[in-house]
Amino acid sequence: MSKLLFILVLTIGIVSGKYKYETKWFTVPLDHFSFQRNETFQIRYLVNSDYWDNGTGPIFFYTGNEGQIEVFAQNTGFMWEIAPEFKAKIVFAEHRYYGQSMPFGNKSLENENIGYLTAAQALADYADLIDYLQGDKVEPRYPVIAFGGSYGGMLAAYIRIKYPHLVNGAIAASAPIHMYPGMVPCEVYDRIVTSSFRIANEECVTNIRNSWSTLRTFAKSQNNSDWLYKNWNLCHPLKNSSDVQELVDYLQSMYESLAMVNYPFESNFLLPLPAQPVRVVCQYLNETLKDQKLIEGIGKVLKIYANYTGKTSCVNYKNGDSYENLDASGWDYQACTEMVMPMCTTGTDDMFEPNPWNFTQFAEDCHKKYNVQPRPQGARVEYGGARLQAASNIVFSNGLLDPWAGGGILNSISNTITAVLIIDAAHHLDLMPSSPYDPASVKMARNIHKQNIEKWIRQFREERSKQ
Amino acid sequence: MSKLLFILVLTIGIVSGKYKYETKWFTVPLDHFSFQRNETFQIRYLVNSDYWDNGTGPIFFYTGNEGQIEVFAQNTGFMWEIAPEFKAKIVFAEHRYYGQSMPFGNKSLENENIGYLTAAQALADYADLIDYLQGDKVEPRYPVIAFGGSYGGMLAAYIRIKYPHLVNGAIAASAPIHMYPGMVPCEVYDRIVTSSFRIANEECVTNIRNSWSTLRTFAKSQNNSDWLYKNWNLCHPLKNSSDVQELVDYLQSMYESLAMVNYPFESNFLLPLPAQPVRVVCQYLNETLKDQKLIEGIGKVLKIYANYTGKTSCVNYKNGDSYENLDASGWDYQACTEMVMPMCTTGTDDMFEPNPWNFTQFAEDCHKKYNVQPRPQGARVEYGGARLQAASNIVFSNGLLDPWAGGGILNSISNTITAVLIIDAAHHLDLMPSSPYDPASVKMARNIHKQNIEKWIRQFREERSKQ
């Protein structure tokens, strides 16, 4: 129902298990902000202290997002790669209601139990965990740097905003903290998706834009529908216009995902993709195509996206949002409550069919599904929206190929709330393991991150020595 | 059960109703941080816009504490007196579960309903209200200055710490934000009570310290107990040692209260008191007294305290904590949950009988009474304890005669987190209406407050003009 959000992030598989850690558990209150219910439960966190100077070394703390935490541990190579030189302890904390951090076991996502799934509660879990890692001391010993990408990047920023006494600085990568109602135009996301395809080639955009009506017209005949079912290797036949709509939605989501993970290296995601996937798929759409030829071109794109390895049995267009390993079913609930992020397409600034944002409909759907009323202004009031002048020590990094950059902070707000733009990077490339294919811009961004982390650690030590 | 805290503040009667306002209501969610329950209710707030420049004038926002809000509106004369020159709108917001801001009507304080009484929820109420007063705008128009005294001062500081995007600065008067476990010695409060009496005269302290054993010995005989019942004008006879203990507790609480409200002017509280009440009562204890003479001296003190106007029919020592107008029954619950403030007496640094702080016993009592487990570290983790280096634009003012100053911030933390010490003032005298009897120190403190408020407003306007 609500638009697929950071979901691709989650589909980043646990590539190879190349980073090693201990798995631990930490007890947190179900509800940090009231005493109406006094249950506790355990969240999971992963720790590596191999490089840690446990006298004074920093704690690198990943504020886990919507998914099982191993995925983020294995894909946030940046933290692992810089830990030795900082003599840092590495901690990845799992977000409540995801992975194995379930307050009510396998009933956690049921409507009567899901209500404590909020960013504020997750941040308070992390705050308690950080305090515990410091030894519950009034005066903490170790500087703490928060890291996060995407929603995890929002949480990294938010934990520094809300708990600056516990977290000394934050690297918030690809964090769309402006993506709330009234803050950026709802069409910004798909406008950037379209730009990313335009960079590959202009004709690609034109073809995709034309493909929607072509496909709808094409699919009207039963023969053609059967042809699509067979030649596009769909898991389900196209029986009616509702099936066609689902296929259209799946295709749009495909282009959005390709733009988001348009990395310079082959990536072994749940849906494995070639390096620079947007450029690769646009090869099939690089001259003006019409009718059957256009349909065939889109079919080739689909094949790359859905079956790059050749091992996928069929394209499950009816269930595009729920990848097997996804484990992010809580996100839809968060989008329906506090993480309300309006999305729309205009058909003019982007290559999609026009589809306005309809909050009333959205709220009704949320109410029907979860019996909640969204609080569209909640996150802005709680975390500050665009007004971060009083915060400090946060880097907001954004790859300009990443559609989520549309909701990101692209200009420095002060000397201590700074923006890092990475011109040829997609979604939080700067946090990923380094690769020989990395563009210079992302190497530079990582150096800037390191300089900031050094500065924040120095600042912590100076303040501490004054006391 | 838990030690009487800010309660005297509340007994400040609604002197004369001299300040005028409109009463309004604002709808808030019962629970800001979860979606488990989706009820809403209304909090009350008082508004005066007589002096307001509604184009750009600031909003002076009192973060209401544990009591009905009129009390704070009528006693925070400082806000009213400076509003005209700042062209400010004045708002006093009532704390949930106090006064008329009851989520469950007259059942709000029952155990099954009281769980949403927390500082975090109250702050979120105020945040929503401030956002509403700005017109729900992404870019606020009006600078907002928070004011508060005692627990309200803690909330004023906390709202700037947690919501700096909504509140531009805070005057936190007599806010004991260090009064949490492990942060200051538990005996600090009564040590300052004792100092205040020592300033009046040393003999007064010696007499009070000696009075406890004298009283306990004296009351052992039935004749003497009857004598006390009659001559001290007690509402209840002293039938056993438990009654004597209650009388002792009442007397200790009396000295503590006298120190807290040791103002330079006659004050018409629920318990009306003369100017400089500590000096007045110490007149009766200014030479070494023993036995019957000491008992008579304490009796005179009791008469001043409990019956200054001569209208009190008897001294209700068995119900000392529940003044008629008090309306602060929620505070005991807050002290049992997140506002855990250890208090003890040593008998050496103070003039009381030794009485250690026993967290285990305290927690058991809380559990028995409210079915909750205190979170002694909760407030420190949530609000930062002593680590406020990353916060800004808060003035912590403390009168050095005020026992709560023992948990206050007495040294500036940075250029923008500053301490104002008021050498001869009791509990948040700086927020009270000005009086011809005000010492120079409190006048100076008020001038410093005004300069800071001016600076914060200027800063808001500069930031705004940059955008």
- Partnered with residue A89 across adjacent β-strands are A59
Q: How far apart are CA A54 and CA A57, in angstroms?
A: 6
At position B431, the amino acid (one-letter code) is: L
Q: How far apart are CA B391 and CA A163, in angstroms?
A: 10
Flag whether B4 is in a domain.
no
pLDDT tens digits, A441-467: 999 999 999 999 999 999 999 998 887
Rg (CA), chain A: 22
pLDDT at B312 (0 to 100):
79
Flag whether B171 is in a domain.
yes
Whether A37 sits inside 8 A of B115 (CB atoms) is yes
Per the structure, how many domains does chain B have? 2
Return phi, psi of residue A116, to 5°.
Answer: -90, 15
Burial of A432 (0-12, 13-18, 19+ CB in 10 A): buried
Q: How far apart are CA B300 and CA B209, in angstroms?
A: 16
Enumerate the residues of chain A whose CB falls inside 8 A of the CB of residue B138. Answer: 182-183, 380, 385-386
The single residue of B402, B428, B430, B441 carrying the catalytic annotation is B402
Regarding predicted confidence, which is higher, A118 or B306?
A118
In chain B, whose CA is at the least distance from the CA of A34? Answer: B116
pLDDT of A318 higher than 90: no
Instruction: Judge whether A60 and A79 are in contact, CB under 8 Å.
Output: yes
Q: How far apart are CA A372 and CA A334, in angstroms?
A: 11
Question: Dmax over Cα atoms in chain B, in whole Å?
Answer: 79
Using CA atoms, how far residue A20 sits from A14, A305, A432, B112, in Å, is 12, 30, 16, 46
Out of A370, A396, A412, pick the residue that ends a domain: A370
Side-chain half-sphere exposure of B291, counting CA atoms within 13 A? 1
pLDDT of A197 higher than 70: yes
- Partnered with residue B148 across adjacent β-strands are B172
Q: How far apart are CA A277 and CA A196, in angstroms?
A: 11
Q: How far apart are CA A400 and CA A157, in angstroms?
A: 19
pLDDT at B320 (0 to 100):
52
Judge if A323 and A213 occupy the same domain. yes
Enumerate the residues of chain B whose CB falls inside 8 A of the CB of residue A464. Answer: none
Q: What is the CATH number of the domain that holds B108?
A: 3.40.50.1820
Q: How far apart are CA B86 and CA B97, in angstroms?
A: 32
In chain B, whose CA is at the least distance from the CA of A373? Answer: B38
Flag whether B3 is in a domain.
no
For residue B461, give the 3-state DSSP assignment: helix
Q: Which of A39, A131, A141, A381 to mutate to test the interface with B (most CBs of B within 10 A)?
A: A381
Q: How far apart are CA A400 and CA B331, in angstroms?
A: 52
Q: Number of Cβ pairs closer than 8 Å across A and B?
A: 125
Average pLDDT on A134-144 reads 87
Out of B323, B351, B370, pick the residue that ends a domain: B370
Judge if B259 and B386 occupy the same domain. no
- Residue in B123, B346, A207, B243 with CA at minimum distance from that of residue B131: B123
pLDDT at A16 (0 to 100):
56
- Residue in B66, B65, B60, B67 with CA at minimum distance from that of residue B19: B60
pLDDT tens digits, A398-419: 999 999 999 999 999 999 999 9
Judge if B230 and B127 occupy the same domain. no
Whether A115 sits inside 8 A of B37 (CB atoms) is yes
Using CA atoms, how far residue A69 sits from A26, A163, A177, in Å, is 14, 22, 21
Q: How far apart are CA B134 and CA B460, in angstroms?
A: 14
Flag whether B334 is in a domain.
yes
Average pLDDT on A322-326 reads 44
Burial of A198 (0-12, 13-18, 19+ CB in 10 A): middle
Average pLDDT on A306-326 reads 70
Whether B386 sits inside 8 A of A164 (CB atoms) is no
Q: Which residue's entry shows tokens 């809403």?
A: B40
Enumerate the residues of chain A whose CB falls inside 8 A of the CB of residue B134. Answer: none
Judge if A139 and A19 occupy the same domain. yes
Whether B388 sits inside 8 A of A165 (CB atoms) is yes
Query: What does DSSP say about strands A40-48 and A89-93: parallel, antiparallel, or unpaired?
Result: antiparallel
Instruction: Judge whether A334 and A118 are in contact, CB under 8 Å.
Output: yes
Give the closest of B36, B38, B182 to A373, CB-based: B38
Return phi, psi of residue B147, to 5°.
Answer: -130, 145
Give the closest of A35, A118, A390 to B337, CB-based: A35
Return phi, psi of residue B417, to 5°.
Answer: -120, 95
What are the tokens at B337? Answer: 């949950």
What are the tokens at A146? Answer: 């928060």
A312 — pLDDT class (breaks 50, 70, 90): confident
- Partnered with residue A417 across adjacent β-strands are A394
- Partnered with residue A25 across adjacent β-strands are A44
In chain B, whose CA is at the least distance from the CA of A162? Answer: B162
- Give all strands (DSSP E) within A324-460, no chain letters: 394-399, 417-422
pLDDT at B17 (0 to 100):
78
At position B362, the amino acid (one-letter code) is: F
pLDDT of A118 higher than 90: yes
Instruction: Judge whether B351 and B213 are in contact, CB under 8 Å.
Output: no
Q: Catalytic site residues of A?
A: 150, 402, 427
Judge if B302 and B406 occupy the same domain. no
Q: What is the CATH number of the domain that holds B216?
A: 1.20.120.980
Q: How far apart are CA B229 and CA B220, in angstroms?
A: 13
pLDDT tens digits, A254-277: 999 999 989 999 876 556 789 999
How far apart are the CA of A68 and the nearest CA of chain B, in angstroms?
A: 21
What are the tokens at A293? Answer: 């030829």
How far apart are the CA of A20 and the nearest CA of chain B, in angstroms?
A: 30
Strand order across the beta sheet in which A40-48 lies: A22-29, A40-48, A89-93, A59-63, A144-149, A169-173, A394-399, A417-422
In chain B, whose CA is at the least distance from the CA of A392? Answer: B390
pLDDT at A319 (0 to 100):
67
Average pLDDT on A17-21 reads 91
Judge if B339 and B221 occupy the same domain. yes
The pTM of the full predicted model, rounded to 2 decimals, is 0.94
The three state secondary structure string of B98-160 is CCCCCCCHHHCCCCCCHHHCCHHHHHHHHHHHHHHHCCCCCCCCCCEEEEEECHHHHHHHHHH
What are the tokens at B398? Answer: 């403390």
pLDDT tens digits, A377-390: 999 999 998 899 99
Instruction: Return the DSSP state at B80.
Output: H
Average pLDDT on A91-119 reads 96
Whether A382 sits inside 8 A of B29 (CB atoms) is no
At position A17, the amino acid (one-letter code) is: G
Judge if B227 and B268 occupy the same domain. yes
Flag whether B375 is in a domain.
no
CB within 8 A of B208, min separation 6: which ones?
Answer: B197, B255, B285, B298, B351
Q: How far apart are CA A302 and CA A296, in angstroms?
A: 10
What are the tokens at A328? Answer: 């992010």
Q: Which residue's entry shows tokens 């949490």?
A: B180
- Terminal CA-CA length for chain B: 53
Using CA atoms, how far residue A19 sits from B263, B403, B426, B453, in Å, is 65, 54, 59, 52
For residue B228, give the 3-state DSSP assignment: helix
The residue ranges of chain B whose pLDDT is under 50 are: 1-15, 321-326
Side-chain half-sphere exposure of A99, counting CA atoms within 13 A? 24
Enumerate the residues of chain A whose CB falls inside 8 A of the CB of residue B32. Answer: 33, 120, 378, 382
Q: How far apart are CA B120 and CA B142, in angstroms?
A: 24
pLDDT at B328 (0 to 100):
58
Q: How far apart are CA A321 and CA A7, in angstroms?
A: 8
Flag whether A8 is in a domain.
no
In chain A, whose CA is at the least distance from the CA of B463? Answer: A389
- Residue in A465, A453, A380, A467 with CA at minimum distance from that of residue A167: A453
Cβ neighbour number for residue B152 with a 10 Å cutoff? 31
Enumerate the residues of chain B whose CB falls inside 8 A of the CB of residue A385. Answer: 138, 165
Rg (CA), chain B: 22
Q: How far apart are CA A349 and CA A220, in angstroms?
A: 28
Give the closest of B115, B140, B392 to A36, CB-based: B115
Domain range holding A213? 188-370
CB within 8 A of B389, min separation 6: which ones?
Answer: A164, A165, A463, B413, B414, B417
Give the closest of A33, A37, A387 to B121, CB-based: A33
Q: What is chain A's mean pLDDT, rounded?
A: 92
pLDDT tens digits, A44-90: 999 999 999 988 899 999 999 999 999 899 999 999 999 999 999 99
Return phi, psi of residue B206, to 5°.
Answer: -60, -45
Helix (H) / strand (E) element for A129: namely helix A119-133
Enumerate the residues of chain A whose CB falls inside 8 A of the CB of residue B417. Answer: none
Flag whether B195 is in a domain.
yes
In chain A, whose CA is at the least distance from the CA of B168? Answer: A390
Judge if B312 and B418 occupy the same domain. no
Average pLDDT on A423-429 reads 92
Burial of A456 (0-12, 13-18, 19+ CB in 10 A): buried
Whether B115 sits inside 8 A of A34 (CB atoms) is yes
What are the tokens at B227? Answer: 């004598």
Whether A162 sits inside 8 A of B165 (CB atoms) is no
Side-chain half-sphere exposure of A117, counting CA atoms within 13 A? 33
Flag whether B7 is in a domain.
no
Q: How far apart are CA A41 and CA A28, in angstroms?
A: 6
Judge if B155 and B91 occupy the same domain. yes
Instruction: Judge whether B120 and B155 are in contact, CB under 8 Å.
Output: no
Judge if B194 and B339 occupy the same domain. yes
Judge if B203 and B331 occupy the same domain. yes
Whether B115 sits inside 8 A of A391 (CB atoms) is no
pLDDT of A216 higher than 70: yes
pLDDT of A322 higher than 50: no
Judge if B128 and B212 occupy the same domain. no
Q: How far apart are CA A368 and CA A442, in angstroms?
A: 43
Return phi, psi of residue B220, to 5°.
Answer: -70, -30
Q: Is B430 marked active-site? A: no
Whether B393 sits inside 8 A of A390 (CB atoms) is yes
How far apart are the CA of A452 and the nearest CA of chain B, in angstroms?
A: 16
CB within 8 A of B240, min separation 6: which ones?
Answer: none
Out of B350, B370, B390, pick the residue that ends a domain: B370
